[in-house]
Amino acid sequence: MKIAVLDDYLGYSDRFADWGDLGGDVTVFRDPIPQRDLVATLSPFDVLCVMRERTPMPADLINALPNLRLIVTTGMRNLSIDMDAAKQRGITVCGTASRAAATAQLAMTLILVASRNLVGNLNSMARGGWQAPAGRDLDGLTLGLIGLGRLGADVAALARPFGVKMVAWSQNLTDARCAEVGVSRADSLGALLEMADVASIHLVLSERTTGLIGAAELARMKPDAGIVNTSRGPIIDRDALLAALRAGQIANAAIDVFEEEPLPKDSPWRDADLIASGRLILSPHVGYGALATYERMYRETAEDVRAFTEGAPLRVIGA
């Protein structure tokens, strides 16, 4: 049995997973495989172990891999796998547990770092200077949560001790859910953006949320407000956000997720002036990527492969 582990950027699958007794040939790909090479590279493999949100598994790729019998994804939901195509081919899809704490904690970290202009001050020190413009503490500010599912609620719990007022909005948000979490409900996205000193996104990417925040929405924000995205890159219109930052229409943005990953070296996101000033903070999609998360994901990936070979698949998705 030939097993491929895709997009293991940091080499953690060897560190955390026990592949030794699987009786298979394991190949770890640390760098992304170019789109044009995917079929030729992956055709020999019986098992693909994928990291969600990295290499997608659309129908045309699944149907082009003659030996594929099992896909194991990190997490129990991976919208980039065409589940119908896998089912039609008789390919089993299994998942692993995940941890929400790491993503929520990163979101809270970025909220704090951006609000205090910490990066601008660190960069000033690195250049031999001293203090850069001061930021704001959160006490008394309004945190707008765009999405109040598990992650949005976790961020609310982390933010509460800082003395923020909290308001939330999503398309299907109810008063009952807001009462459960202990936040106010905004009547609309625009209303939330007008109130928020910091807006933080916690939505699943879908047709409804792609491009949800564009130029018109950003224009409703306060000039000293900031926005944080640890959810999905395409939810914010990149060009509109960069234009708003350059024009001083909003104060800052902290972004962990991008429409193309890994982020190309020539991406418009890499605006040297905005980054140096601390008004644009970029992190390389590390929301879920804490060591404990990787350890659990890769350990359970190997468990899923082993269980499949023994005829008793674990954590089957869509069963």
What are the catalytic residues? 232, 261, 285
DSSP label of 83: H
The amino acid occupying position 163 is G
Helix then strand then coil, % of the chain, to nearest 5 = 35, 15, 45
Residue 274 contacts residue 248 (beta carbons within 8 Å): no
Give the integer Cα–Cα distance in Å for 34 and 36: 5
Unique residue bearing structure tokens 């998705």? 317
DSSP label of 161: G
Q: 186 is written with which tokens?
A: 């905004």
Unique residue bearing structure tokens 């997490």? 75
Element (DSSP H or E) covering residue 87: helix 83-89
Residue 238 contacts residue 274 (beta carbons within 8 Å): no
Q: At what angle do helices 150-159 and 100-115 cross, to 10 degrees?
A: 50
Rg (CA), the chain: 21
Task: Determine the length of the chain.
Answer: 319
Unique residue bearing structure tokens 């928020």? 196
Give the integer Cα–Cα distance in Å for 148 and 253: 20
Q: 96 is written with which tokens?
A: 């692993």
Q: 3-class SS at 280?
A: strand
Residue 108 contacts residue 159 (beta carbons within 8 Å): yes
Unique residue bearing structure tokens 């933080």? 200
